[in-house]
Structure 1
Amino acid sequence: MKQIKLVLIALILMISLSSVFAEDNSAAVYQLLGIDARSNGMGGTGTAFLDNVSSAYLNPAVLADVKTIEFTSGTRQNMAWDRNHNAVALGFVLPIGYVAASWQNATVCDIPGYDVNGNPTGDFSNSDNTIALSFAAKISKLNLGITPKFYLSNQDNDSDTGYGLDLGFLYHINRYFNVGMVARDLIASYPGEEDDIPIEFIPGVAAYPIPGLIIAADLSGRDNFKDSKLRLGVEYWLGVRDDAEVGSSLSGIRIRESTTWSDIISKVQAGIRAGVNDGAFTAGAGLRFKMLELNYAFQMAHDEYLNDTHSVSLLLRF
């Protein structure tokens, strides 16, 4: 009961902070989009539960719960102003922890160009990239993670570089509750920005009341929570049983059953999810096999100037 009260208090604090602060900061804004459709369908949550290689972006500490070599690829479609967002990540188990390499790309195409006199010079494109290497290790119930990042920006044949550093932790209270925190860009310099990229702190909680059900909440706060966004999500996997093998012995979410190659297709789990990301409704679904997982997410536009978006991600386990 005491642990349940602590989680409820954390949720109340997140909601309170979210209602107090509101200020926009657009530096490296593509990093706020998320690279995993499962997370996107749950309102962008994942700081305290998403134990797959996508956590290289969400919270590197969670990588310590990953048990296999994993590869993921994700894309977001129907973005406004000819924007594109894509990402890939590959992770390996080490004797002392888990390591993952990831790449994000955000591109804006067909930008009208003009000279100093206002004469058209033709269209050009802008491309921003984040290349990162994450490492996570487990100490009893505590996971620790670190992600150094390299930024590369290309605009109209001009290039610029920068850097960043993320730190995260995850604590398994028991098999029913996790709490986590990630601090993004604690040390950072972004291409083309006069000032350092703002630090983003994201505390999160996750609960697993019954097998297959996850309830999660994250509070994203940039620049000392002057710009904060509350994210809430829920997910349920059909076909998860009490006797299923749990990939993470503490988190209770990563489910795998003993199967052979011949029955991979026949033994499938289906997941449904919904959430709210800073007031925007999200929803999604997924199919999970022993070595493959495919997820889809829909996110409603935050305002009239943006589009409703669709994201898809593929996860392979080896």
Structure 2
Amino acid sequence: MKKIIFLLFLISFNLFSQVGGESIYNFINLTGSARQAALGGKVLTLMDDVNQPIWNPSTINKNLHNQLSVSYMNYLADLSLGTASYAYTVNEKVGTIHTSINYLNYGNFIGADEDGIETGNFRAYDLSFSVGYSYNFQNSDFYIGSNIKFINSVIENYSSFGVGADMGFIYFNEIQPYVFTLVIRNIGYQVSAYDEVRENLPTQIEFGASYKLENVPITWHLTLDNLQKWNIAVSNPSNEIIDIDGNATEENITFFDNAFRHLSIGAELFSENAFNIRLGYNFRRSKELMLVDERTFSGFTAGFGLKMKKMKFNYAFSKYHPASNASTFSLSIDLN
């Protein structure tokens, strides 16, 4: 198992990756966990959340043993995302294994031929199943982990199947107030395509860090994503400048504007208490979904968590656009 993890980690550095809109199976980059969604949607350093290994397999550890979580997100345009996660420690020698299922339901559609005559209803959905494992280097605070994903996408009578993997490397010490991690997500291959053209998986390289303040009950989270591609900003046609002669000048994307689109931040208040509050901000979402000359608060996220003996309930509100927002609910159960 350790040899397989190291091999996948080395291979991943040689892969070329793309950003959203240039790949397939982008649903696997949707945040299904309410806690993660409330902290900006990109957090990678949560060692006490059984949902976190979906995004960062190196966070799999023995403290997640027999933890079960189910999540539901009411996404844009009435799409719904369901997520289930579970971790089990086999024994001290083998370690902990994590598994998860993500299901994105697009709903039912009415089919029609070229003449507009209805041919009946059809459905569309995306589904992924993953198995993950991590290894703690002996006498150290470093962990390395890997997920293997099996992905299926269906649109009416057309379907596609793919296989992907995640690799994560994290530094975590229970005494230290900080955590650092590097993750390479969605390395893989589209085994069967909708047609004859195969597409790339939405591979991403991400760096995450968190810091717990000593005298204030706040934990800060920071994530840098899409590190495999620097220029991810695209000029907005609505921001073109037209002079008196009718000549249009494209929006100028500055260095700092592009840099901040790689960043998301979050803050968790009273993280160890029975009730906690979470806030986050996703800079890229804010810039890409903003409206000209109108404050929309796109990119803002918020939520809370409740701990009830062996159960945890989390809620997140994600601001996307004045026309639509998203709510995420997660329920975690300790089965020990």
Higher strand proportion, which one? 1
Q: Does 1:292 align with 2:325?
A: no
CA–CA separation in structure 2 for the residues paired with 1:52 and 1:233:
16
CA–CA separation in structure 1 for the residues paired with 2:107 and 2:225:
28
Q: CA deviation at 1:109?
A: 1.3
Aligned with residue 90 of structure 1, among 75, 86, 89 = 86
SS of aligned partner of 1:300: strand
The equivalent residue for 2:104 is: 106
Contact 2:165 2:187 in 1 (8 A): yes
Return 217-226 or 134-143, whichever deviates more.
217-226
SS of aligned partner of 2:77: coil
Q: CA deviation at 1:238?
A: 6.6
CA–CA separation in structure 2 for the residues paired with 1:315 and 1:226:
38
1:52-71 alignment to 2 at 5 Å?
52-64=49-61, 66-71=63-68
Contact 2:148 2:166 in 1 (8 A): yes
SS of aligned partner of 1:308: strand
The equivalent residue for 1:315 is: 332
Q: CA deviation at 1:221?
A: 0.9
The equivalent residue for 2:189 is: 188
CA–CA separation in structure 2 for the residues paired with 1:106 and 1:50:
26
Q: Structure 1 residues 23, 99: CA separation in 2 closer, same or farther (over 3 Å shift)?
A: closer
Contact 2:50 2:64 in 1 (8 A): no
The equivalent residue for 2:14 is: none
The equivalent residue for 1:135 is: 133
CA–CA separation in structure 1 for the residues paired with 2:305 and 2:159:
38
1:1-318 alignment to 2 at 5 Å?
24-25=21-22, 27-64=24-61, 66-77=63-74, 79-94=75-90, 95=92, 96-139=94-137, 140-172=140-172, 175-189=176-190, 191-192=193-194, 194-210=198-214, 212-221=217-226, 224-227=229-232, 229-237=262-270, 240=273, 269-277=274-282, 278=284, 279=286, 280-301=299-320, 303=321, 307-317=324-334, 318=336
Q: CA deviation at 1:113?
A: 2.3
Contact 2:144 2:170 in 1 (8 A): yes
Gaps of 5+ in 2: 1-17, 233-260, 287-298
Higher Cα Rg: structure 1 or 2? 2
Q: CA deviation at 1:307?
A: 1.4
| Corresponding letter in the other structure for 1:273 | R
Contact 1:52 1:66 in 2 (8 A): no
CA offset digits 1:268-294 (Å, max 9, x no partner): x10101001232100000101342110
| Corresponding letter in the other structure for 1:126 | A
Contact 2:33 2:51 in 1 (8 A): yes
| Corresponding letter in the other structure for 2:118 | P
CA–CA separation in structure 2 for the residues paired with 1:230 and 1:93:
34
| Corresponding letter in the other structure for 1:58 | W
Identity level (%) = 22
Provide TM-score, normalisation by structure 1: 0.76
Contact 2:218 2:271 in 1 (8 A): no
| Corresponding letter in the other structure for 1:105 | Y
Contact 2:20 2:26 in 1 (8 A): no
| Corresponding letter in the other structure for 2:39 | M
Contact 1:178 1:207 in 2 (8 A): yes
Contact 2:312 2:333 in 1 (8 A): yes
Task: Kindly report the root-mean-square deviation, in angstroms, between the aligned alpha carbons of the 2 structures.
Answer: 2.5
Provide TM-score, normalisation by structure 2: 0.72
Return 152-161 or 308-317, whichever deviates more.
152-161
